[in-house]
Structures are given as C-alpha cells and as structure tokens.
Amino acid sequence: MSAALPSPRAGDGPVSEAVQLAGVGKTFRGRTDVTALADIDLAIEAGEFVTFIGPSGCGKSTLLRLIADLIEPTAGTVTVNGKSARQARLDQDYGIAFQQAGLMEWRTVARNVELPLELRGWDRARRRTRARELLELVGLPDFVDSWPIELSGGMQQRVAIARALATGPKLLLMDEPFGALDEMTRERLQAELTRIARESGATVVFVTHSIPEAVYLSDRVVVLSARPGRVTEIVPVPLGDRTDDTREAPEFYAKVTEVREALRGRTGRATVPAAEER
C-alpha cells in the first residue's frame, strides 16, 4: 500500500526528493507535554501532490509547519530540496497558503501578491507584471487595484494562492486553504490548483480533513492517526489528470472509500461509499 509511486517528473533527470522526513517527532512542552507527532518517515518526490489527512488534532498542520520550518521538530530531521528545512526557508524555497487568506488589508490585491517578490528585491515593474499574470491565473484580473476587504472570502483565498505561487516555488505548502470556502468555490479552486500544479511541475504538500478533497487532488494520500500523529497508511491515487468527471467516476468513489477505511484503521465495517465527508 505504501509503496512509493513513481514521480510524475521522474523522466526529467535524477529523481530528487522534495521533502524527506526521517524519524520526525514533535512534542509541545507545557504543563503537560503533548506529543503531536511521532516517528514520521516519509519521502515526497519532486512534482508529487501529497495530502495529509487525519482526525482533528492529529498533527497534520504541525507536520506542514515542520516542513515549512515555522516550528522545529523535537526528534528526527526534515530535509527540503536536499537541505535542512531551516536553510530551505531562508532560501525561500517554498510558497505557503493557510486556512485563512491572511492578506494584509493595507495593501491592494496586487501588492499582496507582490509581497514575496518585493522581499526578494524584484523591481516594481517586474513585480507588477508578475502579479497581473498570477491574478489572471487565479481568475481575478479585474481586482488588481482592489482592497482585500472588497473581496469575498473565496476571492481572498485565491489572492493568497496567487501570493503563494508568486516566486514560482518548486514546493507549495497548503494548510487547508479551501477549508473556509463554500462547496462550489472549493471545487473550482481544487480544479485550478491541480491544473496549476500540473503546469508548473511544483511539488504540493496539502493538508485537509476532507476525504473527497484529498482523493481529488493527490497522487498520494497520507493518512495520519489521532494524537500522537503517526502515518498509518499511504493511499496512492492513480486517477490521471483530474477533470470534473473525475468526481463522479467509480474509481474516485473507490478511493474515497479506501481512504475512509484507512482513517478508521481498517477496523470499520464495510461502508457504502459516500460522496462527501463533513
């Protein structure tokens, strides 16, 4: 089950691992220590779309933050693009998006997208052009000079995704970026994301608690157990390029069922495949 799937970009040269987790654990110290993650061993190939799924509090967001070096592991090592997670962060090797858009309300939409470019010292004209391109990509070409508060939640989230893509990172880290959106917007953005990932060849590490979302998006779904989070199963999802029809294909439902059963630890009764979770 957990056999590595061949990397979609395996033909591009030497297969490189975008993310390598070796014996990673995280314990939050406090009045009572909380072990969020334990013994995580995982290799994510370049160009792969991998989703972490698990019950609330299983540490899937923590795992993403460890890769992003926003927090440090208490055990094991995290390697990103062949270097330490710290170095990868300092080199700005990844783009990141969170559950909240987290736009800066004092910057126009375009200047929010430009922020990572500005910090890298791009000149104004180049930043501007790039921001326009990206806003076009996420379907917001008419909102370049709008203020974030003038946008709906879904539109703000697209801006956040454009911002994550701004530097053209080879690694995208996404922590439930569609979690707060309505179902329609969510499905549209999922489709856009798979397209963007395919076209850019970026590696995507995605966190969600929606089973259909995980199955629709991913090459592999990494199922985590409840606290302390451990990898209980890795479900490969070889469904090919995703289209709207993918969501209605029998293989899609089969995978949804497989992930659901993996989440139940394979102890649950056989279940009727359901189209959605939560």
Partner 1 sequence: MTGRAARIGIPIAVGVLFLAGWQALVVGNDIKPYLLPKPSAIWEQVVHNREDILTTARVTGTNALVGLLAGAILGILVALVAARFRVVDSMLVPLAAAVNAMPIIALAPIFNTMFSTTSSVPRRLVVALVVFFPLFINALRGLRQVAPIHRELMDSYAAGGWTFARTVRIPGALPFVFTGLRLGAALAVIAAVVAEYFGGLQNGLGTRITSAASNTAYPRAWAYVAAACALGLLFYLVATALERIAMPWHKPR
Nearer to partner 1, 65 or 260 (CB): 65
Nearer to partner 1, 108 or 208 (CB): 108
CB 188 within 8 A of CB 182: no
Burial of residue 35 (CB within 10 Å: 0-12, 13-18, 19+) is middle
Q: Closest separation between CB of residue 69 and partner 1, Å? A: 8
**DSSP result, 166-198:** TT--SEEEEESTTTTS-HHHHHHHHHHHHHHHH
119 binds partner 1 (CB under 8 A): yes
100 binds partner 1 (CB under 8 A): yes
Pairing of strands 94-97, 83-84: unpaired
104 binds partner 1 (CB under 8 A): yes
Q: What φ, ψ does residue 230 adopt, rounded to 5°?
A: -135, 155
Q: Which of 96, 138, 174, 204 binds partner 1 (CB under 8 A)?
A: 96
Q: Which residue stretch of 85-93, 132-140, 180-188, 237-245 sits at the interface with partner 1 (rule: CB under 8 A)?
A: 85-93
Per DSSP, helices labelled H in the chain are 60-67, 85-90, 109-119, 124-137, 153-165, 183-200, 211-217, 250-263
Nearer to partner 1, 97 or 211 (CB): 97
234 binds partner 1 (CB under 8 A): no
Could you give the CA distance from residue 157 to residue 15 in angstroms, rounded to a whole number?
A: 32
Nearer to partner 1, 38 or 88 (CB): 88
Q: Which residue stretch of 22-30, 74-82, 112-120, 234-242 sits at the interface with partner 1 (rule: CB under 8 A)?
A: 112-120
Tracing tokens 């070096």 back to the chain, one arrives at: 69
121 binds partner 1 (CB under 8 A): no
Q: Which of 68, 78, 159, 256 binds partner 1 (CB under 8 A)?
A: 68
Q: Which of 25, 54, 148, 212 binds partner 1 (CB under 8 A)?
A: 148
Tracing tokens 């995978």 back to the chain, one arrives at: 255
User: Which positions lie near partner 1, rule CB under 8 A?
Assistant: 65, 68, 70, 89-92, 94, 96, 98, 100, 102, 104-108, 115-116, 119, 147-149
